[in-house]
């Protein structure tokens, strides 16, 4: 690899390493944008190598920090199947980013040798980016990185949502249509046409979309066009004035359990929020008493799983449908799925884990509570649904197998996708002719609270059992257990974030007051037992009579 070594050394000079240790986390590398240039350049090198190792198939590189503040940026790689980069390569990525400048060429040579990469082998990297001001600059770094590996080209797709880029990679390698909007829109219209709305129906196609002041706002406009008269999306937080993810977007709405403050919402209006790179969606509404209602990934998963199961039954198709959740899933959502005899699996946070697990089912519906998810159809399910559709008699309106077939085409089977997920939710509501209140009323969730705690080094926290228990520091889990025991229907867990420099705390209990109380006390326990830094979270005053003693 002597020849590339020269050019790599030149590239490294242009992108010198910044101080610090960097880790390929839940969704790639994420940091303040000012430190990202050398990381993105090195990820360009790695993406190019990965493409060669995968026999020249296209791989993807996305420049985004998704829900993080606008000052941050990030990079993650997409494998040829459109999913997240294989986990085994995360360590390789972490190593390549952390070696000193003088050792980058050697590290690249080592990877090439380890995977028998031939100089003559070809490859291609698709690159997409979000709307952050730093993303343009980082695009140059990515393209430069790719150019450091001979015979690999890069193709810039401009500002696109993360799931759109994943879709393009998958579609290219599978030789399927890469017309993203047409695939979603055409299939949406076909299913919607077969689900007519009766007079007096509680369902209408009107939805207000919070675009998080990011790429999702433009996506919602495109989606509205693609779905014709069957959907009527209006967009707020479209980026023309507001700041990306600031007081808006799916992460804000889910974490704060409130609507974006800059807009007056009509009573009972059906609204949804995308996140900064449009791979998550949560729904919400304010009722006539101005009370906020959140319909998050848990509720979306139940709705979609039941819709699919009803169509399977109507089409006399026997396929197992399962739902994959994480520890963040509301206890009540898990109970509902159990009551309805829908198999459940639980994994660690990160769509890569859920995606992998969902493949254990013939149809796997996976959603994180934060709204990140999709539906995967196994080869067996795809074939059975396709055959059943072909056997249905041709009429103007699709039968259940036909509806399911076109519903399946909408799902982004590479990764969570705000636009595809919106369509899947809307079709399920349309079939039921439900308003957002009807949907919300199906299941009452346990009140919950999420908090963030700053510690000196979040990596001191180690977890097990799909992140539901802490193993290190050893005093922390006993402290959490004894707090949880004081609350009716109490549950709490903590884990280091893979995208922000914080420890996340989740708590649920029978009332909002007790859930907040438990979360605040667990946050203090984290601070005390895991090397808290800065201001200690405020210890809440005792709840007195409301506290349930065991
Ligand atoms: C990413 C991951 C999600 C994860 C989220 C938060 O989402 O893709 O699977 O739930 O980060 O992760 P953590 O709690 O580890 O910070 P996004 O939408 O920010 O790319």
Q: For 288-337, how does the pLDDT look when each residue is reduced to its tens digit (9 = 90+)?
A: 999 999 999 999 999 999 999 999 999 999 999 999 999 999 999 999 99
47 pLDDT tier (thresholds 50, 70, 90) = very high
CA atoms within 13 A on the CB side of 211: 25
Helix residue ranges per DSSP H, 343-463: 351-358, 379-391, 400-410, 418-432, 436-440
Residue positions annotated with a catalytic role: 66
Give the model's pLDDT for residue 2: 33
pLDDT digits (tens, 9 = 90+) for 399-455: 999 999 999 999 999 999 999 999 999 999 999 999 999 999 998 999 999 999 999
Cα of 351 to ligand 1 centre, how many Å? 8
pLDDT digits (tens, 9 = 90+) for 150-167: 999 999 999 999 999 999
What is the distance between the alpha carbons of residues 492 and 449, in angstroms, rounded to a whole number? Answer: 10
* Ligand 1 pocket, residue 349 CB under 6 Å: yes
3 pLDDT tier (thresholds 50, 70, 90) = very low
Residue 540 DSSP class: P
Is the pLDDT at 459 greater than 80, yes or no? yes
**Category of 144 on φ-ψ map: left (φ > 0), alpha (ψ -120 to 50) or beta:** alpha
Contacts of 283-289 spanning 24+ positions with Cβ under 8 A: 283/425, 283/436, 283/439, 284/253, 284/259, 285/436, 285/437, 285/440, 286/259, 287/437
What is the distance between the alpha carbons of residues 54 and 98, in angstroms, rounded to a whole number? Answer: 24
* Ligand 1 pocket, residue 69 CB under 6 Å: no
The atom number, within ligand 1, closest to the CA of 280 reads 18
Cα of 350 to ligand 1 centre, how many Å? 6
Contact criterion met (CB below 8 Å) for 403 and 311: yes
In this structure, the strands spanning 344-347 and 321-326 are parallel
Contact criterion met (CB below 8 Å) for 249 and 213: yes
Among residues 326, 355, 246, the alpha carbon closest in space to that of 504 is found at: 326
Contact criterion met (CB below 8 Å) for 239 and 220: no
Contact criterion met (CB below 8 Å) for 494 and 21: no
Task: Tally Cβ neighbours within 10 Å of residue 530.
Answer: 23
Contact criterion met (CB below 8 Å) for 192 and 203: no
CA atoms within 13 A on the CB side of 504: 16
5 pLDDT tier (thresholds 50, 70, 90) = very low
Residue to probe by mutation, ligand 1, list 215, 499, 502, most atoms within 8 Å of CB: 499
Distance set, CA 396 to CA 388, 392, 402, 527 (Å): 17, 12, 11, 62
pLDDT over 90 for what percent of the chain?
94
Among residues 175, 118, 113, 126, the alpha carbon closest in space to that of 151 is found at: 118
Burial class (CB in 10 A: 0-12, 13-18, 19+), 382: middle
Cα of 541 to ligand 1 centre, how many Å? 32
The atom number, within ligand 1, closest to the CA of 84 reads 8
26 pLDDT tier (thresholds 50, 70, 90) = confident
Q: What is the per-residue DSSP string for 218-282?
A: HHHHHHHHHTGGG-EEEEES-SSSS-TTTT-HHHHHHHHTS--TTSPPPTT--EEEE-TTS--EE
* Ligand 1 pocket, residue 372 CB under 6 Å: yes
* Ligand 1 pocket, residue 350 CB under 6 Å: yes
> CA angle at residue 350 from 488 to 448, to 5 degrees?
20
The atom number, within ligand 1, closest to the CA of 67 reads 19
Cα of 1 to ligand 1 centre, how many Å? 36
Cα of 348 to ligand 1 centre, how many Å? 11
Please, which residues have CB within 8 angstroms of residue 92's CB and are 6 or more apart in sequence?
46, 111
What is the distance between the alpha carbons of residues 15 and 476, in angstroms, rounded to a whole number? Answer: 41
394 pLDDT tier (thresholds 50, 70, 90) = confident
Residue nearest to atom 9 of ligand 1 (CA): 350
What is the distance between the alpha carbons of residues 484 and 479, in angstroms, rounded to a whole number? Answer: 9
6 pLDDT tier (thresholds 50, 70, 90) = low
**Reduced to 3 states, what is the DSSP secondary structure of residue 174?**
helix
What is the distance between the alpha carbons of residues 444 and 313, in angstroms, rounded to a whole number? Answer: 26
Residue nearest to atom 3 of ligand 1 (CA): 350
* Ligand 1 pocket, residue 521 CB under 6 Å: no
Domains of the chain, earliest start first: 8-174 (3.40.120.10), 190-197+205-295 (3.40.120.10), 297-441 (3.40.120.10), 448-547 (3.30.310.50)
Task: Tally Cβ neighbours within 10 Å of residue 345.
Answer: 17
Cα of 118 to ligand 1 centre, how many Å? 35
Task: Tally Cβ neighbours within 10 Å of residue 304.
Answer: 24
pLDDT over 70 for what percent of the chain?
98
Residue nearest to atom 18 of ligand 1 (CA): 66
What is the distance between the alpha carbons of residues 124 and 18, in angstroms, rounded to a whole number? Answer: 28
Give the model's pLDDT for residue 543: 87
């Amino acid at each position: 690899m002597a020849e590339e070594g020269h050019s790599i050394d030149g590239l490294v000079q242009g992108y010198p390493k910044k101080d610090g240790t960097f880790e390929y986390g839940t969704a790639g590398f994420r940091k303040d944008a000012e430190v990202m240039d050398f990381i993105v350049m090195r990820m360009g090198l790695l993406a190019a190598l990965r493409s060669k190792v995968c026999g020249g198939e296209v791989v993807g590189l996305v420049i985004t920090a998704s829900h993080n503040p606008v000052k941050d940026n990030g990079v993650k790689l997409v494998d040829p199947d459109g999913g997240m980069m294989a986990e085994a390569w995360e360590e390789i990525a972490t190593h390549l980013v952390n070696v000193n400048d003088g050792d980058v060429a050697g590290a690249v040579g080592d990877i090439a040798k380890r995977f028998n990469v031939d100089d003559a082998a070809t490859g291609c990297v698709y690159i997409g980016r979000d709307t952050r001001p730093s993303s343009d600059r980082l695009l140059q770094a990515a393209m430069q990185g790719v150019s450091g590996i001979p015979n690999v080209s890069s193709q810039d797709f401009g500002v696109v949502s993360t799931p759109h880029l994943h879709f393009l990679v998958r579609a290219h390698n599978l030789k399927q249509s890469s017309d993203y909007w047409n695939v979603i829109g055409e299939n949406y219209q076909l299913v919607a046409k077969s689900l007519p709305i009766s007079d007096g129906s509680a369902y209408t196609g009107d939805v207000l979309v919070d675009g998080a002041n990011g790429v999702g706002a433009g996506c919602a406009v495109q989606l509205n066009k693609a779905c014709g008269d069957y959907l009527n999306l209006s967009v707020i937080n479209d980026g023309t004035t507001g700041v990306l993810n600031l007081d808006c977007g799916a992460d804000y709405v889910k974490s704060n359990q409130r609507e974006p403050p800059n807009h007056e919402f009509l009573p009972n209006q059906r609204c949804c929020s995308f996140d900064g790179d449009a791979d998550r969606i949560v729904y919400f509404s304010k009722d006539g008493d101005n009370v906020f209602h959140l319909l998050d990934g848990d509720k979306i998963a139940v709705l979609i799983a039941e819709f699919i199961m009803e169509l399977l039954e109507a089409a006399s198709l026997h396929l197992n449908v399962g739902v994959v959740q994480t520890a963040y899933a509301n206890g009540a959502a898990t109970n509902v799925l159990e009551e309805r005899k829908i198999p459940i699996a639980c994994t660690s946070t990160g769509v890569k884990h859920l995606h992998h697990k969902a493949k254990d089912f013939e149809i796997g519906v996976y959603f994180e509570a934060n709204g990140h998810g999709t539906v995967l159809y196994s080869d067996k399910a795809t074939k059975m649904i396709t055959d059943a559709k072909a056997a249905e008699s041709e009429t103007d309106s699709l039968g259940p197998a036909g509806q399911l077939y076109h519903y399946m085409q909408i799902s982004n089977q590479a990764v969570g996708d705000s636009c595809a997920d919106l369509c899947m939710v809307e079709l399920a509501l349309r079939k039921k002719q439900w308003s957002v209140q009807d949907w919300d009323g199906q299941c009452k969730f346990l009140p919950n609270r999420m908090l963030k705690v700053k510690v000196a080094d979040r990596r001191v926290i180690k977890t097990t059992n799909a992140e539901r228990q802490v193993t290190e520091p050893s005093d922390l889990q006993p402290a959490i257990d004894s707090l949880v025991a004081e609350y009716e229907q109490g549950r709490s867990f903590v884990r280091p974030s893979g995208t922000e420099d914080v420890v996340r705390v989740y708590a649920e209990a029978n009332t909002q007051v007790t859930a907040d109380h438990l979360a605040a006390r667990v946050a203090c326990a984290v601070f005390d037992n895991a090397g808290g830094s800065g201001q200690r979270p405020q210890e809440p005053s005792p709840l007195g009579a409301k506290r349930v003693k065991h």
